[in-house]
Structure 1
């Protein structure tokens, strides 16, 4: 209410009177808009909770299917400090012996003793490591051994050679180290300078029988022997798919006394059981949301925001149907969720029969992938069912869109009401002000007449 006036002629509080008239006109319309807006916001929030609980199940099943969780493998090493392993669903179960014959090493070079204070002069150093090359310029006034070390280490195109200096009785020694292990990652240092330049002391060619720098550490591949037959090498201490679906990492050499390390690959029943428990928890959380949104409290005679809503009934019904419908193409040993030991209680929640589930995981683990996986498996059917509700064009998305339209209309109604009330306030205030002015004028005329009348 931006306008105000005091009744100079009438003595009345015109502003207060105008406010009461406007509020009396606004109240019923404002009450309806507020109530409807609250209902819309409550329903939008309710559908949001329902959508989130459904999408949680969909996302779980998508991740399980993408990661092949229901064909998971576990690995156990007899000596984790020497050999560790991990396996994907592609790995065949079995026991493998691993002899670690050699660990991967990086190439290291060391110079003869040098004078750390000497200027090596201008020139170029060409650094090579494996198939990577970089050429760096050495400037005349920045050519001490420490300057060269800084230049090598700060070169953006450095192929992976780290330079450092150690001091011993023979003088300062330049150390060059590869940042990668393996026989293919040999260091090569080419020198382009005037004949006789001190920079030549830093040259190294791995195929040359004579060099100014010496090998401090030979570049080596790691090498393992699998089951006493298959010899496998790697430029790192990791071996990928030396055994199909198994990644092996080695840290120490095995010895004749200790013998080979045993790596066992097995079906990861614990991971699968944990995934199933996660899905059951997600469904039960969804079911609790549906109960909260659609419940009726006889004591308060109040219902949830979505009481009687067909979307909730349909979602619960379709999910329950999935639990009992056989999956085409699945193994005869597991065709429904209930055959796996997961069933619906009288209340409507899911529960796990642990003994039945453990038995199925032990006896029919290989059947899980055909039941859950693929485009026709249980996981995919859960995704599709949820998508029909929460995806574009789904029932919940349609309801949310309709509620969004209602909110927009109510906001428009609120704006129109505010404008009408402002107009009403302005008109009413003008009318009262005009009346007040007229009364003031009449009072002035009366007072003048009284003054001219004889006493």
Structure 2
């Protein structure tokens, strides 16, 4: 004969307990339960709210993670992987700027500046400002020829005009034409004189200009066609080869590098182009930190959240781990990442294209993270709250329905076994 089993109690739920009293085999056995659904329903509602709140936080984390990853995508034109910086050994004399598409230079360009490009300057006579002007009264016309193109300019002089007034009329007419020459009147309060100054807006011989009277004597009376500084082109050398330019800013390497000359040089200035390696390391660190935070959030609710995302992300990152380790990106045993900054810097110096491929190209780390983050953000909430084959648990409260409770108690207390015998 089997012994009579002692009283068995189920797991407590608040102040209520489920219990089943078992008699001997000689008599019938019936479960006796005491149960209230009100508190259980409240707990289940709380669980649903917590799950929904976690899903909303997950969406936000995925959005932030995707944005961070996009900064390292090579197809993104503003990506740090596509940006270059120019380094000059003497930026005070020769500064440089790397444009879109510039490549890292294994050897710097040697730049020598023999002379700077200069703008033409004409000055009129220094006339006593308040004396009567000698410019012919009435209509005056003259040509201003800039870079081979002529402009006909008209000025109407009054019989009462002073030299200062006449020069200001001429200056206003020239500036209104917008021919590429700036006119200004300079006065000297000490001597009481006024002088008209003409300067080209841009330097270089192709912007030189001349003036000639057509009607009247506005140019002759002021001697405005007197050149005090001739236009000049810049003369410079790149790696020993001579060039000239009508500007102090020149483009080289197919327009991918821009040089600006500020002073002549006594010795060559070295200009090199490189990626902003420190910025890339910093951005890679931010991406890995963002991923680790996202991973930790997944892990924090892995046991309660019905849809197991952790394994999906782990499989994706694990697949490219062997390649990433070559450039200093290490995947830890728990699925998070660590960064060896020195190893990444060395890899960018020696194998920059490899870093671009493993981090920023289509199958690289940033692209995989961005694609998966976008996919998660586009997943409906209802899909995230459905159980999956990988989930550790579904809704834990479904196990406490009346039918499930009875069967669970029966199995735990040996009811079926006792009744069978």
TM range, normalised to the smaller chain?
Answer: 0.5 to 0.7
> What's 1:109 paired with?
122
Separation in 1 of the partners of 2:213 and 2:363?
A: 64
> What's 2:62 paired with?
51
Q: Do the aligned residues in 1 keep the contact of 2:110 with 2:270 (CA within 8 Å)?
A: yes
Pick aligned residue for 1:138 from 125, 149, 155:
155
Work out whether 1:285 is the aligned partner of 2:310: no
> What's 1:161 paired with?
181
Question: Deviations for 1:68-103, whole angstroms, at most 9, x for unmatched residues?
Answer: 755876654443322233446435321443221110
> What's 2:320 paired with?
323
Q: Do the aligned residues in 1 keep the contact of 2:185 with 2:195 (CA within 8 Å)?
A: yes
Q: Do the aligned residues in 2 keep the contact of 1:103 with 1:253 (CA within 8 Å)?
A: yes
Pick aligned residue for 2:264 from 229, 253, 257:
253
> What's 1:214 paired with?
226
Shift of 1:158: 1.0
Aligned residues: 328
> What's 1:173 paired with?
195
Shift of 1:360: 3.1
> What's 2:103 paired with?
90
Separation in 1 of the partners of 2:306 and 2:75?
A: 34
Shift of 1:167: 4.7
Shift of 1:186: 1.6
Separation in 2 of the partners of 1:178 and 1:367?
A: 50
Question: Kindly tell me: are residues 318 and 346 of structure 1, through their superposed partners in 2, closer, same or farther at Cα, counting changes over 3 Å?
Answer: closer
Separation in 2 of the partners of 1:191 and 1:71?
A: 55
Question: Deviations for 1:318-372, whole angstroms, at most 9, x for unmatched residues?
Answer: 55145327xxxxxxxxxx1111111112343211124433443444345434545
Pick aligned residue for 2:270 from 260, 263, 274:
263
Shift of 1:263: 0.3
Q: Do the aligned residues in 1 keep the contact of 2:207 with 2:231 (CA within 8 Å)?
A: yes
Work out whether 1:399 is the aligned partner of 2:380: yes
Separation in 1 of the partners of 2:302 and 2:363?
A: 39
Separation in 2 of the partners of 1:37 and 1:130?
A: 78
> What's 1:453 paired with?
none
Question: Kindly tell me: are residues 283 and 76 of structure 1, through their superposed partners in 2, closer, same or farther at Cα, counting changes over 3 Å?
Answer: closer
Work out whether 1:198 is the aligned partner of 2:217: yes
Shift of 1:53: 2.1
Shift of 1:125: 4.8
Separation in 2 of the partners of 1:44 and 1:178?
A: 65
Pick aligned residue for 1:237 from 233, 248, 260:
248
Match runs of 1:246-395 below 5 Å: 246-255=257-266, 260-265=267-272, 267-268=274-275, 271-292=276-297, 295-296=300-301, 307-310=305-308, 312-313=309-310, 316-317=313-314, 319-321=316-318, 323-324=320-321, 336-365=323-352, 367-372=354-359, 376=362, 378=364, 382-383=366-367, 386-387=370-371, 389-390=373-374, 394-395=375-376
Structure with the larger helix share = 1
Separation in 2 of the partners of 1:122 and 1:84?
A: 49
> What's 2:6 paired with?
none
Q: Do the aligned residues in 2 keep the contact of 1:47 with 1:400 (CA within 8 Å)?
A: no
Work out whether 1:225 is the aligned partner of 2:245: no
Shift of 1:38: 7.1
> What's 1:6 paired with?
none
| Structure 2: gaps (5+ residues) | 1-41, 385-421
Q: Do the aligned residues in 1 keep the contact of 2:98 with 2:273 (CA within 8 Å)?
A: no
